[in-house]
């Protein structure tokens, strides 16, 4: 029997690689001679670099960067085993988790550090970039990233504008003459699971600004500044990106990547599963096992178990989802190809108890083994009949 194990991480508890290995260990107690293919997956958000580095036999690189508040710190990205592909989580350099709650200010936070990660990957010889842009702390339209890559955003006096979305109002000219020339030969795919435009009532500032520290007055200012940025981009590059779906992602980072780097904005799970060649692996499997920390009705919006199940559904392969918990209206996932779902929780527990890695590991192992035993019983009863 060929079994593909393709889970996401159990957030704040177990990595995707840990989850895959533990499920295999539990199943192997029952199906010792099965052929297991482990494919840790992520959807472009937190954990993407770790999952892809493991799957692509690559390595992680740590770089000194400029954090969202303009201070120096360290961040990481991944490089595939063949050295051609860089896997970058924007959150690693420019993420909300890097900014203490009492210092969150969407007017001043910068995406410069993400640009520094891209530049370092260019120095390493990478020509393909997978960039996950979830979890950002910024609302600068990707301006900081562009500055790190050699693009000059100048005020009327010919000086570089400052960091943050507030500074965009001073932008008078965009000069791309000194943009890193290596970028022209590169391919960028952006894991973007939102469809918000850059500006307006559903834009970057209005929808995501408040969680980054923007007051109602700040939202109005930031939205106006992004409109100005969009008009300057149109003037310099002859491209209108203001209302394109996805350009409002990550405080407008989607807009900058699309306009200046000719990036393709695609669902994260689609990018990652293609990169991992999951389609071919699933086609050859007898059973597919997936999972994540929580499965509910929102999981149909680009989450790993549903993305994996949709691939399996094309080939009529059964899919078992083993998850930390099952939430509201989780049955919504069944039409997408999930055959059965199981929570690893065996008793009532607090959230902190459930997230404890050792507890989660034991619960996951026992659940995987019991599911395997149930499958074996089912096959036995079928044979007897």
Q: Please state, rounded to an integer, the average pLDDT across all residues of the chain.
A: 94
Q: Which of 235, 268, 301 is the last residue of a domain?
A: 268
For residue 34, the enclosing domain spans: 2-41+276-384
What is the radius of gyration, based on Cα positions, of the chain?
Answer: 22
- One domain for residues 103 and 198: yes
Is pLDDT at 382 greater than 80 in this prediction?
A: no
Chain center to CA of 293: 15
pLDDT of 72 strictly over 70: yes
Residues 185 and 326 placed together within one structural domain of the fold: no
Q: Domain containing 312 — which CATH number?
A: 3.40.50.10350
What does the pLDDT look like over 196-255, one tens digit per residue?
999 999 999 999 999 999 999 999 999 999 999 999 999 999 999 999 999 999 999 999
pLDDT confidence tier of residue 193, bands split at 50, 70 and 90: confident
Average pLDDT over residues 56-85: 96
Same domain, residue pair 185 and 244: yes
Q: Which of 210, 233, 268 is the last residue of a domain?
A: 268
Site of tokens 């779902």: 341
CATH of the domain at 230: 3.90.1510.10
DSSP string, 250-293: GGGHHHHHHHHH-PEEE-HHHHHHHHTTHHHHHHT-SEEEE--S
pLDDT at residue 350 in the model? 84
Note whether 56 and 97 are same-domain residues.
yes
Q: What is the pLDDT of residue 383?
A: 64
Whether 18 and 91 map to the same domain: the answer is no
Q: How far is CA 129 from CA 47, 183, 193, in A?
A: 16, 10, 17
- Same-domain check for residues 150 and 219: yes
Q: What stretches of 39-148 adopt beta strand conformation (E)?
A: 59-66, 72-79, 85-89, 128-132
64/238 Cα distance (integer angstroms): 34
Tell me the β-bridge partners of 294. Answer: 325
- Shared domain check, 330 and 234: no
- 131 shares a domain with 172: yes
Percent of the chain surpassing pLDDT 70: 99
The residue assigned the tokens 């055959």 is 339
Q: pLDDT, tens digit, for every residue of 260-290?
A: 999 999 998 899 898 899 999 999 999 999 9
Helix (H, G, I), strand (E, B) or coil at 10: strand
Given this model, what pLDDT does residue 347 score? 85
Which of 210, 239, 268 is at the close of a domain?
268
CA distance 85 to 73: 24
Q: Where are the alpha helices (DSSP H) in 344-384?
A: 351-355, 357-384
The confidence band for 385, taking pLDDT boundaries of 50, 70 and 90, is low
pLDDT for 384 beyond 70:
no
174 and 30 co-located in one domain:
no
Say yes or no: 189 and 95 in one domain.
yes
Answer whether 0.95 is exceeded by the pTM.
no
Distance, CA of 68 to CA of 75 (rounded, Å): 12
Same domain for 308 and 189:
no
Total structural domains within the chain: 2
Query: Mean of the pLDDT values across residues 71-94?
Result: 96
One domain, residues 22 and 91 = no
**Residue 45: predicted pLDDT:** 76
């Amino acid at each position: 029997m060929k079994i593909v194990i393709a889970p996401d991480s159990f957030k704040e508890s177990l990595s995707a690689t840990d989850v895959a290995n533990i499920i295999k260990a539990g199943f192997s107690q029952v199906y010792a001679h099965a052929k297991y293919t482990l494919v840790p997956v992520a959807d472009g958000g937190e954990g993407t670099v770790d999952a892809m580095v493991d799957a692509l036999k690559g390595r992680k690189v740590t770089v000194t960067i400029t954090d969202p508040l303009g201070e120096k710190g360290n961040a990481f990205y991944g490089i595939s085993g063949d050295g051609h592909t860089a896997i970058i989580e924007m959150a690693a350099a420019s993420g909300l988790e890097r900014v203490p709650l009492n210092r969150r200010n969407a007017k001043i936070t910068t995406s410069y550090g993400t640009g520094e990660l891209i530049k370092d990957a260019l120095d390493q010889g990478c020509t393909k970039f997978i960039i996950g842009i979830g979890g950002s702390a910024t609302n600068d339209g990707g301006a900081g990233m562009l500055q790190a890559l050699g693009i000059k955003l100048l005020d009327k006096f010919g000086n570089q504008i400052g960091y943050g979305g507030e500074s965009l109002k001073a932008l008078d000219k965009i000069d791309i003459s000194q943009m890193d020339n290596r970028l022209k030969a590169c391919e960028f795919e952006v894991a973007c699971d939102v469809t918000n435009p850059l500006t307006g009532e559903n834009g970057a500032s209005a929808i995501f600004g408040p969680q980054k520290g923007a007051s109602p007055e700040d939202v109005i200012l930031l939205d106006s500044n992004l409109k100005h940025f969009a008009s300057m981009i149109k003037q310099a590059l002859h491209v209108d990106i203001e209302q394109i779906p996805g350009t409002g992602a990550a405080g407008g980072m989607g807009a900058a990547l699309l306009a200046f780097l000719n990036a393709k904005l695609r669902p994260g799970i689609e990018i990652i599963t293609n990169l991992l060649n999951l389609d071919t692996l699933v086609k050859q499997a007898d059973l597919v096992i997936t999972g994540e920390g929580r499965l509910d009705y929102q999981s149909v919006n680009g989450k790993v178990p549903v993305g994996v199940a949709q691939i399996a559904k094309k080939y009529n392969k059964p899919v078992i989802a083993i998850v930390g918990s099952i939430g509201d209206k989780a049955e919504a996932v069944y039409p997408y190809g999930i055959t059965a779902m199981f929570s690893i929780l065996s008793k009532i527990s607090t959230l902190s108890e459930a997230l404890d890695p050792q507890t989660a590991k034991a619960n996951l192992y026992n659940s995987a083994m019991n599911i395997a035993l149930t499958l074996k019983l089912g096959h036995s009863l079928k044979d007897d009949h």
